Chain A
Amino acid sequence: MTNIWPIGGGKGGSGKSFLAGNLGIWLAKQGQRTLLVDADFGAANLHTMIGLPYQTKSLSDFLSKKVQTLEETVIETRIPNLFLISGAGNNLDTANMAYEQKMKTFRALSKLSYDFTLLDLGAGTSFNTIDFFLLSDSGIFVVTPEPTSIENMYRLIRAVYARKIRQLLKTHHFRTLVEETESRNKGAMVNNPEYLLSVIKELEPEKGKIVEQALRAFQFKLVLNQLRKQDNPQLGVLICRIIEKHLGLPLQFIGNISYDDLVHDAVCQKVPFLERYHHTQTAVDLENFCRHILGARSMAERSGAAEDVLEMAVDGRTQ
């Protein structure tokens, strides 16, 4: 299975590109061939995060058929083993990618062979953002200890899981499920995955079980970024427990990453934070985060369960 890690958070400024960039550099230094994909169309700047100037070559070349294959858009970076597909220079057309274009990109992405493919996603919960989560059975949610960030994170997680359920079912099937859920929960948010799951479990226990198992097999992870001294260090653990308990969705807490003004300095100087400021607590936290992702990969390779269920379901899809 291609080892794809979507990195999202729902809110801008939570540190998605910072984490993606630093994770990419760290993995490359461990000898892992790593591809960074800037999927924050319309606001792409992952190249800047890893110290590269504005890129003329980007994903839109592939979409506009200027180049034939996705490989041709890959840029070599100054760091050995680290590659980039830039999102820079993408016009509005890319930001509002059509369904066919999106599918084409997805197919091409999952065919690329890298040890790690990290997708830096944009803010918000538009389909063009959350659909990148459909490429993988893992993913990282980045949240900061602020109500605004937490609100967007919950919205994103629900949207991703609802989309996963949609992916697992045939189109007409899903429509029936949504209608049934709507009629039962008047005025409720029907894209709440926990509602969908409980309705399908009741209507078709067999199918419900498969969907539930597939959802349980996902390895979604939460990282709490920019934790300041006055913040509650338990926040991330508690959020994961609440999601498991009340939404019935698994989410693993990776850890906290301390806030440091030096991050701002590193971004301004366009230098990798881990190298320049390796003595800081934030660097220690970052390395723990990176190590966790490296370790999670081998786990995912061992258990192909999610993949099997997914493939089965996708085969059954009408489109």
Chain B
Amino acid sequence: MRPLVELTHYEMLDLPAAATPFEIRKAYKRALEVYGEDSMVIYSLFSAEERKEILVRLDEAFATLSNEKDRYEYDQSLIQKGVIEEGSEYRSLGKKGAAAGPAGSADTPSQPEKESPQGMENPVVKEILSGEDLTGLDLKRLRMEMGISLEQIAKWTKIRPGMLQSIEEDRFYDLPSRLHLKSFLKAYAQYFHLNPESIVSRYMKRVDGGKS
């Protein structure tokens, strides 16, 4: 195996520097499959240590690229090293200085700006999230409080509005498989910079409880 340090986080995930947060999440999931223990793609190619090393680097890549601030800093370091060209990176932080940047164009889904309420700091949001369970209505109230439309979330998460509505209205029979539902909820939470684990587990508790 080539030394992994030769690969950037983007190369680890097979992504261009302009990848959207959604693409990063998707690429990470895909990579976990490709490098998984039972994956046919890499069968016999790597030693156990090499595979472990790859997985560590993958996690590192995902952790860095899925955090706005870390990603911005990482992009800057790549630009300085001349690995990527300035202007080719996804700028979700530095939009002010880069009106013409890829994130500024109308059809690129972008995450809410810094000035939009940071989830946990808003007292109303705090109140909504303080309960033990989390209902679809809670999610809807949260979204209204933030002034975000279903379509906006749909665009960024690439989940269709009808599905988001089913989640918000607790229409359990219309919901997809557990696996998909969990990833939808996670995306929803990430859109609002909320802790995805807590959102997912509290919502799922009701889904599971309702079925038994």
Contacts and interface: CB of A to CB of B under 8 A. Distances in A.
A198 B46 CA distance: 17
A23 to B, nearest CB: 26
Contacts of B40: 145-147, 150, 232, 235
A78 B11 CA distance: 51
29 contacts: A145-B40, A146-B40, A147-B40, A147-B43, A147-B44, A150-B43, A150-B44, A151-B44, A154-B43, A154-B45, A155-B44, A192-B1, A194-B1, A198-B2, A235-B41, A238-B34, A238-B41, A239-B41, A242-B34, A242-B41, A242-B42, A242-B45, A245-B2, A245-B11, A246-B1, A246-B45, A246-B46, A246-B54, A248-B2
A177 B87 CA distance: 42
B7 A245 contact: yes
Consensus secondary structure, chain A interface? helix
Candidate in B34, B41, B54 with the most chain A CB atoms within 10 angstroms: B41
B6 to A, nearest CB: 8
Candidate in B7, B40, B42 with the most chain A CB atoms within 10 angstroms: B40
Interface in A120-172: 145-147, 150-151, 154-155
Contacts of A242: 34, 41-42, 45
A239 B43 CA distance: 10
Nearest to A187: B47
Interface string B1-43: 1110001000100100000000000000000001000001111
B39 to A, nearest CB: 9
Closest A-B pairs by Cβ, 9 of them: A151-B44, A238-B41, A147-B43, A150-B43, A248-B2, A194-B2, A246-B1, A154-B45, A246-B2
Consensus secondary structure, chain B interface? loop
Contacts of A299: none
A227 to B, nearest CB: 12
A154 B46 CA distance: 10
Interface string A188-206: 0000101000100000000
Interface residues of A, number: 20
A301 to B, nearest CB: 31
A268 interface: no
B47 to A, nearest CB: 8
Interface string B43-60: 111100000001000000
Nearest to B1: A246
Nearest to B12: A245
A245 B58 CA distance: 13
A102 interface: no
B44 A154 contact: yes
A57 interface: no
A21 B173 CA distance: 55
A317 interface: no
Contacts of A192: 1
Interface in A222-266: 232, 235, 238-239, 241-242, 245-248
A20 B85 CA distance: 45
A246 B2 CA distance: 5
Contact of A247 (B2, B41, B54): B2
A241 B1 CA distance: 13
A94 to B, nearest CB: 30
Contacts of B54: 246
Interface in A254-308: none
B127 to A, nearest CB: 46
A25 B202 CA distance: 64
A145 B3 CA distance: 28
B116 to A, nearest CB: 37
Contacts of B45: 154, 242, 246
B27 to A, nearest CB: 12
Interface string B72-104: 000000000000000000000000000000000
Contacts of A194: 1-2
Nearest to B45: A154
Nearest to B38: A147
A144 to B, nearest CB: 11
A194 B3 CA distance: 9
Nearest to B41: A238
A22 B14 CA distance: 35
